[in-house]
Amino acid sequence: MREWLAYFSDQAIILIDAIALLVIVGGTVEVVIRATRGALTHWSHPEQREVWLRFARWLVAGLTLQLAADIIETSISTSWETIGRVGAIAVIRTFLNYFLERDLEEIRVRQHERGSPPAP
């Protein structure tokens, strides 16, 4: 029974990490294309901000998925070294996610105060 659970957990970790990779790569490709296009057309500050906000959202989504995979990995780990390594990575990802979310919320509040339409 334990082997079965470990096998499916490993498969879930691989799948979730692959999805996270696709999300982060997709966001990176989008920001490169939009930033290049914007640099060629002399984009405005609000347009620049929107591109980087969208990228931050992609990163938050990817980090959240990676954290889910880390949680599964710690649940099936048998060595303290692995648990410590995965735990450290999870803490780093959690802090990155927290600060990205906080920055996004601050920008939403500032846009609301200025009467700008909120960022999607």
Domain boundaries, the chain: 2-114
pTM: 0.73
What is the reported pLDDT for 118? 53
What is the reported pLDDT for 74? 83
Find how far residue 44's CA is from the centre of its chain.
Answer: 26
What is the reported pLDDT for 116? 57
What is the reported pLDDT for 73? 86
Rg over CA atoms, the chain: 18
What is the reported pLDDT for 93? 79
pLDDT along the chain (120 residues), means of 10: 87 96 97 90 81 87 88 83 82 83 81 66
- Residues 6 or more apart from 46 whose CB is under 8 A from it? 116
What is the reported pLDDT for 29? 97
Query: What are the percentages of helix, strand and coil residues in the chain, rounded to 5?
Result: 90, 0, 10
Whether residue 30 contacts residue 58, with contact meaning beta carbons closer than 8 Å, is answered with: yes
Q: Is the dihedral of CA 27, 32, 38, 39 positive or negative?
A: positive
